[in-house]
Structure 1
Amino acid sequence: MTEITDPNVEARIDALLKGAIDPHVHSGPSIAPRGIDHVTLLRQASQAGFAAVVTKDHDYSGVMTAELIRQHFPELKTKIYSSIVLNNVVGGLNPYAVEHTAALGGRIVWLPTLAAANHLRWQASANWVHPASTDRMRPVTAIPVLNDDKSVRDDMKEIIDIVARNDMVLASGHLHVSETWVIFEEAQRRGVKRLVFTHPEDIVDASLNDVKGIAAMGAFVEHSLCMFLDGCKFKSREAEDLRDQIEAAGVEQTMLCSDLGQTGTFSPLDGFRRGIRLCMDLGYDDDQIRKMVSGNTARALGIEADVATARAS
């Protein structure tokens, strides 16, 4: 991908960033090295005209921090939301932690990531350890979401019910795609309206048929731009793979995130800019890109009003 040098292209990207939403940002503080903190993230996003960002940490619910930032930085117009990831540090499948996150305005409940059995298998084969791994505190114990007979565990059902009651998003995290199918089907039976399939391009062993089928059930499919960008240390796929993924789900069910905030690579804002340029190079028009970086994500999160406010300002 060529560098952004054409002023006309930069102006198009600037316009597409107005009202954008990054639903998956690894800003700090964190036990993993982070290149940007939550306040700096929000300042940069506000300057670019983003409607909202959603912070994600593998080890804690960020809703308290988000509320503090909302109270003390009212001049920052981008809305900040946060989430919880059901890893060991929050007690795994802990309904109390999910209820607390909901009560403080959290929008996303991520199923296990670093503590998913699938992630631990993938990590062993990749010969790599995530810098936020809690091995430094105690060995990571895999958190099962299904029973031995592949039915959904009762504690997982309780969490699904909390997500449904509070109209939150249930995101698949680093579960194996076979587990995601079972959980998502149970979630829909129990009234969850907002489902997000996390980066099918890596870790979760999903096929394009899985992407197509999960999108057909009404879930949004979220792609991590960092995995497609030249020069990013997380790149694992080519531009054409992103096109294949988008075409499998359809533009209407696709949402793009940076999945950035770490040290040694692009900032979330820079990653978003580069991701938009990549979509342009793939032939998507501005209306299609706007859906994938703003409109679809707003629908998934239930924050359409934030986008309307950002575009009007």
Structure 2
Amino acid sequence: MSLETAIQGLCDLHIHAGPSISKRCVDALDVFRNAAAKGFRGLVIKDHYFPTMMSAQLVQSHFGQEEGTPQIFGQIVLNNAQGGINLKAVDAACGMGVKLVTMPTVSAKHHIQAYAGKAFVGGGRESIPETPIYYLDEGGALLPEVNALLEYLSKRPEVVLATGHGSPAEIDALLSAAVEKGISRILVNHPFCMINATLEQMSRWASMGAILELNACDIDPVSSFADGDPGVVGAMLETIPAERLVIDSDYGQNGNIEPVEGLIHFAQFLRDKFGVSEEQIHQMGVVTPGWLLGLHD
């Protein structure tokens, strides 16, 4: 299989596109048009502050009706702007066809501590400070509202649960409860970068059935904000089966590479830097993310 063949039908689960209160280099329509030109099959738009189903549906309905155009999906991130872990907001999002429900990112206590004293490039223009969200109690158990969320999502198998920017301890508890409740579509966001999970933790999450992200923005040297450890990424690729990994861009930041070109370059980078095969790239970039999005159902 050639690389050109391997990346036909790419799905990008992690695109930061406008409109947003964060500065973005593209909007949802820009990304859709670029992805259609390169043969992508699926896209998910992410915003830390507002749900993205509305922009995704407008793009799909007005520009995505031709055969062969990508499917574009929205998500909701459970930050303070949405009321935190707010089941009513999730219920409304599901009514709008949300594809990813993501645990707190910019409102997560772990995120706030990680960026203490420095700017987060994906942050928006806010006048009210974030209230840190930590969703375990003093004994390390999930808060009741998280258990209620998981119970709700267990009845909606088409929706992906994403872990956001919480701590490894939070992710451990979240995944254990989610798997126990029968949730099968679980995405662990960039566990190697900012989450700073150990290889043992990442391997355990994969063995539980979760899918782990490898993000171009954090690794590829063409990214303006690459700060991931290549050694950790290499160890992940050697230890965790390709079937339990996805590649996506995490691009869209102002001043960074455009997401579609960025993900294509990332596939080339993984092959050249780490010796990842074209078959593995196809698995991580097409097959597994396509399954998460329900494109193979």
Specify if TM > 0.5.
yes
Could you say if the C-alpha distance between residues 134 and 28 of structure 1 is closer, same or farther in structure 2, counting changes exceeding 3 Å? Answer: closer
| 1:169-188 equivalence runs, <5 A | 169-188=160-179
> Following the alignment from structure 1 to structure 2, what is the Cα–Cα distance between the partners of residues 242 and 286?
17
Aligned to 1:62: 52
Q: When the two structures are aligned, how many residues end up with a matched partner?
A: 293
> Following the alignment from structure 1 to structure 2, what is the Cα–Cα distance between the partners of residues 267 and 297?
20
> Following the alignment from structure 2 to structure 1, what is the Cα–Cα distance between the partners of residues 216 and 232?
11
Letter in structure 1 aligned against 2:12: D
1:108 matches 2:100:
yes
Extract unaligned runs of 5+ from structure 1.
1-10, 306-313
> Following the alignment from structure 1 to structure 2, what is the Cα–Cα distance between the partners of residues 135 and 238?
29
Aligned to 1:225: 216
| 1:157-172 equivalence runs, <5 A | 157-167=147-157, 168-172=159-163
Q: Give the helix-richer structure, 1 or 2.
A: 1
State whether residues 45 and 74 of structure 2, in contact with CA within 8 Å, keep that contact through their aligned partners in structure 1.
yes
RMSD: 1.7
Q: 1:53 aligns with which of 32, 43, 59?
A: 43
> Following the alignment from structure 1 to structure 2, what is the Cα–Cα distance between the partners of residues 106 and 34?
21
- CA shift, 1:269, in A, is 1.2
Aligned to 1:297: 289
Letter in structure 2 aligned against 1:46: A
Q: 1:122 aligns with which of 106, 114, 122?
A: 114
State whether residues 223 and 256 of structure 2, in contact with CA within 8 Å, keep that contact through their aligned partners in structure 1.
yes
TM-score, with length taken from structure 1:
0.89
> Following the alignment from structure 1 to structure 2, what is the Cα–Cα distance between the partners of residues 134 and 236?
20
Could you say if the C-alpha distance between residues 133 and 260 of structure 1 is closer, same or farther in structure 2, counting changes exceeding 3 Å? Answer: closer
> Following the alignment from structure 2 to structure 1, what is the Cα–Cα distance between the partners of residues 125 and 143?
25
> Following the alignment from structure 1 to structure 2, what is the Cα–Cα distance between the partners of residues 13 and 280?
9
- CA shift, 1:129, in A, is 2.2
1:42 matches 2:32:
yes
| 1:128-147 equivalence runs, <5 A | 128-131=118-121, 133=123, 136-147=126-137
Q: Which runs of 4+ in 1 moved over 6 A?
A: none
Moved more, 238-247 or 175-184: 238-247
Letter in structure 1 aligned against 2:184: K
- CA shift, 1:135, in A, is 6.9
> Following the alignment from structure 1 to structure 2, what is the Cα–Cα distance between the partners of residues 71 and 207?
42
> Following the alignment from structure 2 to structure 1, what is the Cα–Cα distance between the partners of residues 57 and 125?
30
TM-score, with length taken from structure 2:
0.94
Extract unaligned runs of 5+ from structure 2.
none
